[in-house]
Amino acid sequence: MPYDANLLEISVEALAQRIATADAPLQLIDVRELQEIAIAALPNFQVFPLSQSAEWMATLPTQLDPHAETYVMCHHGMRSAQMCQWLTQQGFTNVKNIAGGIDAYALVVDSSIPRY
């Protein structure tokens, strides 16, 4: 899937602020592998490993709210960018890629999160 230059992104600093101040539930998606989640994860993220997309692709659009404020994370931001593109193609209207992924979050926002 080619990278979309029009993809909306959010910095990890802005994400942390958004999570802290959200007045409505945010839709948080992590597309990393389960073994990556076991090393480092953020609370309240739903896990949909990109490598297992065949298992969730048909039902995910009905499981999630296509108009909710949605943030997608991976390790560095590439797999999540692919997921953001796919969600947008499915009619999701408010999707942002978390720039730098959990690695950037661990570096900039919360150093207690393990890096790998």
pLDDT of 24 reads 86
Question: Closest Cα partner for 96 from 59, 66, 69, 60?
Answer: 69
Q: pLDDT tens digits for 39-51?
A: 999 999 999 999 9
84 is catalytic: no
Question: Closest Cα partner for 90 from 45, 57, 114?
Answer: 57
Pick the catalytic residue from 73, 74, 95, 106: 74
Domain range annotation of the chain: 9-108
Residue listed under structure tokens 């150093």: 111
Those residues of the chain that have pLDDT short of 70 are 1-5
Q: Is the whole model's pTM more than 0.75, yes or no?
A: yes
**Do 70 and 83 touch, CB atoms closer than 8 A?**
no
pLDDT of 6 reads 72
Q: Which of the listed CATH numbers 3.40.50.1000, 3.40.250.10, 3.40.50.720, 3.40.50.1400 matches domain 9-108?
A: 3.40.250.10
